[in-house]
Amino acid sequence: MIKITDLNKTYNYKKPNAFHALHDISLEIADGEMTAIIGRSGAGKSTLLHIIGCIDKFESGSYEIDGKDVSKLSDRELSKVRNKMVGIVMQDFALIDSYTVIQNVMTPLYFAKIKGKRAKEMCISALKAVNMEEYADKPITNLSGGQKQRIAIARAIVNDPSFILADEPTGALDTKTSEEIIQLFKKLNEEGKTVIIITHDKTVADSCTRQIEISDGKIISDNRSAARQK
Amino acid sequence: MYFKLGSHLLSTKTLANCLLIILIAFSLFVTNICIGIINRQFAVTDAVKNFDLEKTYYYCQSGEYSDDAEMQANEYIKAAEDNKGIDVSYLYGGSLQLKNKSWVSDLRYISYTATDDKTGSKLNSGQLKSGKWYTDAEHTEGAVNVVALEGMYDVGDIIHIELDPYMLETQETDETEPVYMNMIVTGVIRKESYIYYPRTDGQDLGLSEIIGPAYKAAGSERTAVYFSIDDPEAKKYADYFEKSGVSVLTLNDNADESSSNVIADLGRKGWLNKFKDMYDRSMEDIVSQILTLVPFIFGTVLLTVVSLVCIMLLNSIDNMKTYSVYYLCGMNWSDMRKILLAYSGILMISSCILLIIIWTASVLAGIMDSMVVYSMNNIYITLGLIAFIILIMVFVPLMMLSKSSPKDALRDH
């Protein structure tokens, strides 16, 4: 479903301070997989996630989602990909503090032009999936870190995306809460969602069925590609 | 959807947005005051827009009279009347006594100004609040068509006048029957309208010496009427109306050298001012006053723009995380522009409501009456300013966003 071929990303491209963040990255992620992308800080994990999530661009190579070449899409088409196909969960939750819980969850539906009763039903359904439906009208600022991350996950899944991207989703959480969040991702994966998690945490990586390790912008191991190389 | 998201932006920085609303309303208010003051200057020149300025003269007989001098002056006026190339319009004016059943509260007298049909119709420069100009309305049997100053009378009102028998030169005794006349109000003019009422004589006059706001013409009588001396009913009572010694002389299509000579002779026996010269003098004054106001307007707008840009920059920095979240959730540049337009629109509507409140309060307090005149200039310039402000309110955040990336913004916040 996600196919990346010989992808290169350079920050400050063609400038004196250019930094080559990703080198000839090639990988394929099938529907329904739960994949961890691991590596040390500065390895290029987040860069790769941002490209997969269509919130950053690349200079060469190709990136296809369900056979469609993303690099040829216009700004409007890319925004539709972000809205309908991708659900992103960030380390610091990326919630809007002045909104209530349900307003945060509803944000992708505004851009999908879904409103009214249907939008509310979809929000409640997403909140139920993360066990937070009773907090619907509460302000975000009253919630704990774990609760906020659940809300972020609810927002990511409200529009039934093709895959969920999570950038260090447990980075700001304690061990117990982290475990709860990972269990939540596993549950979503069991329900058929493709999940891609960026992490430097071995425990989180071990909970995934596939691990791709990146170092200095290159894939150095992949439990699938490692088996072929042997 | 865009309205909802735009209004969310409003709620994130309430104090800054309130400041913006007050700032915008203030600058629109000040700008409109300045425009109104400038409009007021042009009200004088607008009042003569229907006159052929090159061919029209304002003439006032000299006040230094001996009987011989007066006789001579009258001869010259008669020469003008007799010349087929000159139209002479006399100005009549004074006070008329109301018959008691016409009294409005304790009003006993009304001021009046009258001239002939031709000059009178040219004075109709779109100043009517309601009804029709007296030369445009149908004649009513038994009543003189008049236009009245707003405040005392409405269209359709009948004013009963008791004429002063001592106006008649033949009147020698006190024993006389009262003479009554009726007037019917065909139109009402705004009290700040500019109307022809010569108040002075002299050379090198400006238009403001012969044209002024109608409420000042009313004087102590508090109201005034305007009518044509050619009105069929008014003609019957022509002897009761007082000539003011002022006339408007117009060269018509039959004018020749003799006409110009007669005009020149009149100039030697009284005060003669060509409308074009008066217009030019008035324009010089107006330009001078505008140049005094322009730096003030420019300074106000500049202050507003600089403040607006600063507040929008700070607003944009504070809202960067919100914009980034929207981006993650599927917003594109077109959505961003529409959200900002909705946000700007809500701010502008709030500012305009505040502006209307301030403006209404100042009008009710009577602050504006003698200061400003409204015209389409106010609408055009206000709309232009609003469009310019909205442009800034959309452009500044878009510029900020184009320089940053959502992921960096989320990381920084």
Give B166's pLDDT tier (boundaries 50, 70, 90): low
Specify whether the backbone of B124 is left (phi greater than 0), alpha (psi in -120 to 50) or beta. Answer: beta
Q: Per-residue pLDDT averaged across B367-381, rounded?
A: 77
The CA-CA-CA angle for residues B390, B392, B398, to 5°, reads 105
Q: Assess contact for B328 and A87: CB atoms under 8 A.
A: no
Q: pLDDT tens-digit profile of B335-350?
A: 888 888 898 899 899 9
For B41, other C-beta atoms within 10 Å of its C-beta total: 20
Tokens in use for A148? Answer: 């906020």
Give B102's pLDDT tier (boundaries 50, 70, 90): low
| pLDDT value, residue A1 | 83
- Residue in chain A closest to B409 (alpha carbons) equals A94
Rounded Cα distance between B43 and B318, Å, is: 48
**Nearest Cα to Cα of residue A87 among A109, A57, A61, A63:** A109
pLDDT tens track, chain A, 230 positions: 899 999 998 888 788 888 888 989 999 998 889 999 998 888 888 889 989 998 888 888 999 988 888 888 888 898 999 999 999 998 888 899 888 999 999 999 999 999 889 999 999 999 998 989 999 999 998 899 889 999 999 999 999 998 999 998 888 888 888 888 899 999 888 888 899 999 888 888 888 889 999 999 898 888 864 433 33
* pLDDT value at B250 more than 50: yes
| pLDDT value, residue A229 | 33
Whether A11 contacts chain B with CB within 8 A: no
User: Could you give the ipTM of this predicted complex?
Assistant: 0.90
* DSSP string for B23-83: HHHHHHHHHHHHHHHHHHHHHHHHTTTTS-GGGEEEEEE-S---HHHHHHHHHHHHHHHH-
Rounded Cα distance between B262 and A39, Å, is: 106
| pLDDT value, residue B277 | 92
Question: Cβ B410–A90 below 8 Å, yes or no?
Answer: yes
| pLDDT value, residue A198 | 92
Q: Assess contact for A94 and B410: CB atoms under 8 A.
A: yes
Whether A112 contacts chain B with CB within 8 A: yes
Rounded Cα distance between B97 and B94, Å, is: 10
| pLDDT value, residue B324 | 87
Alpha-carbon separation of residue A190 from A84, A132, A193 (angstroms): 20, 19, 7
Alpha-carbon separation of residue B374 from B33, B161, B364 (angstroms): 9, 34, 15
Chain B residues with CB under 8 Å of A139 CB are none
| pLDDT value, residue A92 | 85
Chain B residues with CB under 8 Å of A55 CB are 327-328, 405-407
Burial of A198 (C-beta count, 10 Å sphere; 0-12/13-18/19+): buried
Question: Cβ B407–A99 below 8 Å, yes or no?
Answer: no
For B147, other C-beta atoms within 10 Å of its C-beta total: 32
Mean pLDDT of chain B: 83
The answer to which of A59-73, B208-222, B261-275 has the lowest mean pLDDT is B208-222
Give B210's pLDDT tier (boundaries 50, 70, 90): confident
Domain spans in chain B, listed from the N-terminal domain onward: 2-45+284-412, 86-251
Question: Cβ B330–A56 below 8 Å, yes or no?
Answer: no
Give B145's pLDDT tier (boundaries 50, 70, 90): very high
| pLDDT value, residue A20 | 85
Whether A73 contacts chain B with CB within 8 A: no
Specify whether the backbone of B180 is left (phi greater than 0), alpha (psi in -120 to 50) or beta. Answer: beta
Largest Cα–Cα separation, chain B: 103
Q: Assess contact for B28 and B382: CB atoms under 8 A.
A: yes
